[in-house]
Amino acid sequence: MTLFFRRWGLGAKLSLLTGLAVALLFLLFTLALSHKASQQLEALAVEDLHNQAASVVDMVQMFDSSLNAEVASYTTLFNSFLPQPLTRDASQPQTINGIRVPMLKGGDVSLHENNALPDDFLARTGAIATLFVRSGDDFVRVATSLRKENGDRAIGTQLDRESPAFAAIARGETYRGLAYLFGKRYITQYQPVKDASGEVIAILFVGVDITASWQVMREKILSRRLGDSGHFYVLNGAAGKNYGQFLFHSKQEGQLPQWPDAIQQTLLKTDSGTLERENAQGRKVLMSFTRLPGWNWVIVGEADKAVLLANVTTLRNQFLAAGIIISLLFAAVFVWMTRRLLTAPLREAIALAQQYAAGDLRSAIQTDRHDEVGQLIHALNGIGNGLQEIVSKVRDAAGDIRQGTTALAADSGEISEQINKQASSVEETSASMEQLAATVQQNAANMAQTQSLVKEASHAVHEGGETVGNAVVTMDAIRVASQRIADITQVIESIAFQTNILALNAAVEAARAGEHGKGFAVVAQEVRALAARSANAVKEIDELISDTLGKVSEGHQLSEQTRQAMEVIIGRIDQINQLVTEISHASHEQSAGIGQVNIAMAQIGEATHINAGRVSRSEQTAQSLREKGHHLNELVSLFHLKG
């Protein structure tokens, strides 16, 4: 298919692509328009469903308001029928339907099974009434006009603890709402009766039968329609066994809906909203729902999405059919115009180009068009004229090339001979530089070894200098210690002198004492003798220390002179080391420079050989160009030029 399409003419390809593009754009426009219309229609349908559900809510709320007012009025009226005050007497229990309960009184009148009052109220108003008495935490019917399906009075029964009224009464509040009692629908009010302490002791119940009104509301809700498939129904949102079932439905009242639990929970837990689900037949259904507070209804309106959008789908299909027809007509007109304005002139241009390709430059196409096709034809004519001029110049240049290449081949031979001589000289120079480089490298190695020896000698001299410096420091410390010993001996001599004075004083005092001081005089004599010997010993130590200090001073001076001499030697050794290092660096640099010169000479030699090869190839190229110039002259002679 691709090969077949490639063989088509440009006009056919443009016609096909343009037709497909127009058809695609029309298709996209139609789909976008129908999609937008579908969205708008769907939004309008959902809004209509929601508005109708809201109108049902408004209708029921108005009905609920009137019923609440009516049942509240009836409760007040029923309370006026009863003797007052209402009390509970636990000391007089009564048994009703097997249940023992306290007695409920109206004034002094017992109200137990006193059904005349509720019956009279029913006859006058048409509303049922019941009296409950509290027994423990339960409330028991003790008088009522409410009857079961079999006609018996619903007396002695208890108020259901699951009833929403029970929770309100337990809080001491009045409850008003819907109730389904023994097959009938009622709007009810449970009003608590309290004693002086505020405790609930009884309940007044009034119920208005709304069965007929209930049926009217059911028919009104179920009769509402939106288009051919839109309808409404009501779900029971009150807690209990009927929770979630259809309350109003044309076919499934009292049954649970057959849809996913997530949709069911959304409907029952959310106040209002819109959903989209798939029914049992696999069709998409739009849903709009609103919750009715108080009555616990969920009013739902739904419509089949496909039926709702059927008109839009039909209109879209009609647009698509019209678009196909228009696209085909456009393609036919476009093909005719393309062949007239594009294909025929292009074929003429192709024929002219084929003549130019065959070497015939004498033809041209005459045209007065200025569009792209006209510009293409003018360009082809210009190509023919340019080729004619080029071929003429090439013929002239071919002869010049043949002569030039001959001279180039001769010059290349001479240059090749000179380059070979230069290469020989470069090789000899390179050999001499290699010998010089080897000598310089040997000198550099010797200087490196000399530098190493000088560094070792410098290190040894530095260590000797440090040792002499340490000796000087030690001699100085010995001199200081000797001086301290001399100071200590002077102190000892002073102590011996003072001891001698004290002993002399003690001898004088002993002489004065006479016989009593003889022993003390002997001791003083011994002390003076010891002080004299200590003084003599100290003098000898002092002389010895003085002699030692003199010798230490001489040693310190000699050490200081040795240290100064070592510092001079170290300075000279450092200078020698620096000179040797500089000579070594210079030798290495000289070696590196000669190496670079050697490398440069090698590169020159290599370049000389390369140039020799290139010159040889140039000679061959010149020969080849001479042959090609001759061949080019032969080829150009094939063109047929205008006279």
Are 278 and 284 spatial neighbours (Cβ–Cβ below 8 Å)? yes
**Is residue 121 predicted with pLDDT exceeding 90?**
yes
Phi-psi category of residue 126: left, alpha or beta, with phi > 0 → left and psi -120 to 50 → alpha: left
Residues 390/392/394/395 CA torsion (nearest 10 deg)? 170
Task: Kindly indicate the confidence band of residue 22, based on its pLDDT and cuts at 50, 70 and 90.
Answer: confident
**Does the predicted model carry a pTM greater than 0.85?**
no
Higher-pLDDT residue of 192, 381: 192
The CATH code belonging to domain 378-636 is 1.10.287.950
- The count of other CB atoms within 10 Å of the CB of residue 107 is 11
Q: Residue count of the chain, please give it.
A: 643
pLDDT of the residue at 32: 76
pLDDT of the residue at 11: 62
- As a whole number, mean pLDDT of residues 235-256 equals 85
pLDDT of the residue at 357: 77
Query: For the chain, what is the total number of helices (H) and then of strands (E)?
Result: 11, 13
Where in the chain is CATH 3.30.450.40? Answer: 84-213
**Is residue 8 predicted with pLDDT exceeding 70?**
no
Fold classification of 84-213 is Beta-Lactamase (3.30.450)
- As a whole number, mean pLDDT of residues 437-450 equals 75
Q: For the chain, first and last CA: distance in Å? A: 48
pLDDT of the residue at 258: 85
Separation of alpha carbons 472 and 557, rounded Å? 9
**Is residue 245 predicted with pLDDT exceeding 80?**
yes
Separation of alpha carbons 189 and 176, rounded Å? 4
Residue 314 burial class via C-beta count within 10 angstroms: exposed 0-12, middle 13-18, buried 19 and up: exposed
Q: pLDDT tens, 554-578?
A: 877 787 787 787 788 878 878 887 8
**Is residue 498 predicted with pLDDT exceeding 90?**
no
pLDDT of the residue at 132: 95
- As a whole number, mean pLDDT of residues 506-526 equals 78
DSSP 514: G
Q: Which long-range contacts (CB under 8 A, 24 or more apart) does 308-316 make?
A: 308/41, 308/42, 308/45, 308/227, 308/229, 308/230, 309/38, 309/41, 309/42, 312/34, 312/37, 312/38, 312/41, 313/34, 315/34, 315/37, 316/30, 316/31, 316/33, 316/34
Higher-pLDDT residue of 491, 140: 140
pLDDT of the residue at 5: 58
**Is residue 7 predicted with pLDDT exceeding 90?**
no
Quote the radius of gyration of the chain (alpha carbons, Å): 68
- The count of other CB atoms within 10 Å of the CB of residue 169 is 23
Task: Kindly indicate the confidence band of residue 142, based on its pLDDT and cuts at 50, 70 and 90.
Answer: very high
Higher-pLDDT residue of 170, 595: 170
Where in the chain is CATH 1.10.287.950? Answer: 378-636
- As a whole number, mean pLDDT of residues 489-503 equals 80
Where in the chain is CATH 3.30.450.20? Answer: 9-81+225-328
Question: Rounded mean pLDDT of the chain?
Answer: 80
**Is residue 1 predicted with pLDDT exceeding 60?**
no
**Is residue 343 predicted with pLDDT exceeding 60?**
yes
The CATH code belonging to domain 9-81+225-328 is 3.30.450.20
**Is residue 391 predicted with pLDDT exceeding 80?**
no
The CA-based angle 68-74-75, given to 5 degrees, is: 90
**Is residue 77 predicted with pLDDT exceeding 80?**
yes
- As a whole number, mean pLDDT of residues 276-283 equals 82
Q: Which long-range contacts (CB under 8 A, 24 or more apart) does 566-569 make?
A: 566/461, 566/464, 566/465, 566/468, 567/465, 569/461, 569/465
DSSP three-state, residue 247: strand
Determine what percent of the chain is predicted with pLDDT higher than 70: 92
The beta strand positions in 231-390, using DSSP E, are 231-236, 246-248, 272-278, 284-292, 297-304
- As a whole number, mean pLDDT of residues 259-287 equals 85
pLDDT of the residue at 26: 67
**Is residue 9 predicted with pLDDT exceeding 80?**
no
Task: Kindly indicate the confidence band of residue 639, based on its pLDDT and cuts at 50, 70 and 90.
Answer: low
pLDDT of the residue at 308: 66
pLDDT of the residue at 207: 94
Tell me which amino acid residue 590 is: Q
**Is residue 263 predicted with pLDDT exceeding 60?**
yes
- As a whole number, mean pLDDT of residues 110-122 equals 91
